[in-house]
């Protein structure tokens, strides 16, 4: 199983257009690599690919990676796309894929409902881009030889659909993790997760590799940096650090572990940061755009 990280950053990207935080300024200056918004590609043969989440940066991501260049007059190596929630960083890229080349789109009914409610997505022809509703916990073929299954992980409705009160640990069809199996390997992709529950630990116990939500280093990061007013918890994202954080909670998982969907404020972006050193010393990898992993 082959992976290509198309976008390692969370919503907003690195740098984010309106952000003058330390990391965004470093990325703008070319002192740390820039990163696009959240997306991971997977393939068995390196020829046919599936993309997990439609990043708003997908056009540039495909231009930057030769694996995604057309091989004939109208073509894409992308056979299918799967969405793990309805947030803008995971669906807006569909609008850049509207030029009538077929691929199969997979998501839960609830996430497909978000697309159906927003008429702008009608620009993506249903005839060319089939919208396939997937059932929680049921296997389906994402591409030849590659089986997928989605399962609920604690999360919330998309930011643009939030009401006055927001439940941040909903378990249902709005936020899912993905299990991929093929070529004798098992992978999990969970770019958004509010909490590591016992159910989740059981679910991922057969993983060879785990790509996991690395949005924030700590819960108060955006408030402390002055870039936001919300905690990680309020945004539906578990933090990396701390006794309730993902490193501690996922310590027993023996798979190769990689953080993805990393917010631009996260200190793990900086090569010389203590936080990055801690993550690496804990046995985790940190994804970057263009990162390739073969199992
Ligand atoms: C998130 O992961 O919290 C969202 O992508 C936020 C957003 O839509 O900007
Ligand atoms: Mn996001
Ligand atoms: Zn920033």
Alpha helix segments (H runs only) across 149-291: 198-203, 221-225, 246-249, 274-281
Domain ranges within the chain, ordered by starting residue: 2-294
Residue 143 — φ and ψ, nearest 5°?
Answer: -155, 175
Take residue 180 and report the two structure tokens written for it.
Answer: 């991929």
- Confidence at residue 73, expressed as pLDDT on a 0 to 100 scale: 98
CB count within 10 Å of CB 109 equals: 13
How many A from CA of 37 to the centre of ligand 2?
A: 8
Which residue has the least CA distance to atom 7 on ligand 1?
A: 11
Please give the Cα distance from 88 to 111 (Å, whole number).
12
How many A from CA of 56 to the centre of ligand 3?
A: 17
CATH number of 2-294: 3.60.15.10
Which residue has the least CA distance to atom 5 on ligand 1?
A: 11
Structure confidence by residue, pLDDT tens digits, 118-161 = 999 999 999 999 999 999 999 999 999 999 999 999 999 999 99
- Band of pLDDT at residue 74, cut at 50, 70 and 90: very high
Please give the Cα distance from 126 to 105 (Å, whole number).
10
- Confidence at residue 110, expressed as pLDDT on a 0 to 100 scale: 98
Which residue has the least CA distance to atom 6 on ligand 1?
A: 11
- Band of pLDDT at residue 290, cut at 50, 70 and 90: very high
Strands (E), 97-197: 103-108, 129-134, 140-143, 146-152, 176-182, 185-190
CA of 261, closest atom in ligand 1: 2
DSSP-derived 3-state class of residue 277: helix
- Confidence at residue 217, expressed as pLDDT on a 0 to 100 scale: 98
Structure confidence by residue, pLDDT tens digits, 192-248 = 999 999 999 999 999 999 999 999 999 999 999 999 999 999 999 999 999 999 999
CA of 11, closest atom in ligand 1: 5
Structure confidence by residue, pLDDT tens digits, 38-53 = 999 999 999 999 999 9
Take residue 226 and report the two structure tokens written for it.
Answer: 């002055």
What does the DSSP assignment read for 200-238? HHHHGGG-SEEEEE--BSSTTHHHHHTS-S--TTTTT--
- Confidence at residue 226, expressed as pLDDT on a 0 to 100 scale: 96
- Confidence at residue 201, expressed as pLDDT on a 0 to 100 scale: 98
Q: What is the mean pLDDT of the chain?
A: 98
Question: For residue 264, which ligand has an atom nearest its CA?
Answer: 3
CA of 88, closest atom in ligand 1: 8
């Amino acid at each position: 199983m082959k992976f290509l990280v198309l976008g390692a950053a969370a919503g907003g990207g690195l740098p984010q257009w309106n952000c003058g935080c330390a990391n965004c300024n470093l990325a703008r200056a070319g002192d740390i690599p820039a990163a696009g918004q959240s997306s991971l590609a997977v393939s068995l043969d390196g020829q046919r690919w599936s993309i997990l989440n439609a990043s708003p940066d997908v056009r540039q991501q495909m231009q930057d990676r030769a694996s995604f260049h057309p091989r004939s007059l109208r073509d894409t190596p992308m056979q299918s796309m799967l969405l793990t929630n309805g947030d803008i960083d995971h669906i807006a890229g569909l609008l850049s894929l509207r030029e009538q080349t077929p691929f199969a789109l997979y998501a839960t009914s609830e996430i497909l409902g978000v697309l159906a409610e927003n008429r702008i997505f009608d620009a993506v022809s249903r005839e060319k881009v089939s919208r396939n509703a997937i059932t929680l916990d049921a296997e389906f073929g994402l591409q030849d030889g590659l089986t997928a299954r989605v399962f609920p992980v604690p999360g919330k409705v998309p930011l643009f659909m939030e009401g006055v009160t927001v439940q941040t640990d909903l378990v249902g069809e709005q936020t899912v993790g993905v299990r991929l199996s093929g070529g004798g390997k098992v992978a999990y992709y969970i770019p958004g997760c509010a909490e590591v529950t016992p159910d989740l630990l059981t679910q991922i116990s057969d993983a060879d590799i785990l790509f996991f939500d690395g949005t924030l280093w700590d819960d108060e990061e955006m408030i402390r940096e002055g870039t936001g007013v919300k905690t990680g918890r309020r945004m539906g994202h578990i933090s990396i650090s701390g006794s309730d954080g993902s490193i501690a909670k996922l310590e027993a998982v023996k798979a190769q572990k990689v953080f993805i969907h990393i917010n631009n404020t996260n200190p793990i972006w900086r090569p010389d940061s203590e936080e990055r050193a801690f993550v690496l010393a804990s046995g985790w990898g940190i994804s970057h755009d263009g990162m390739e992993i073969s199992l």
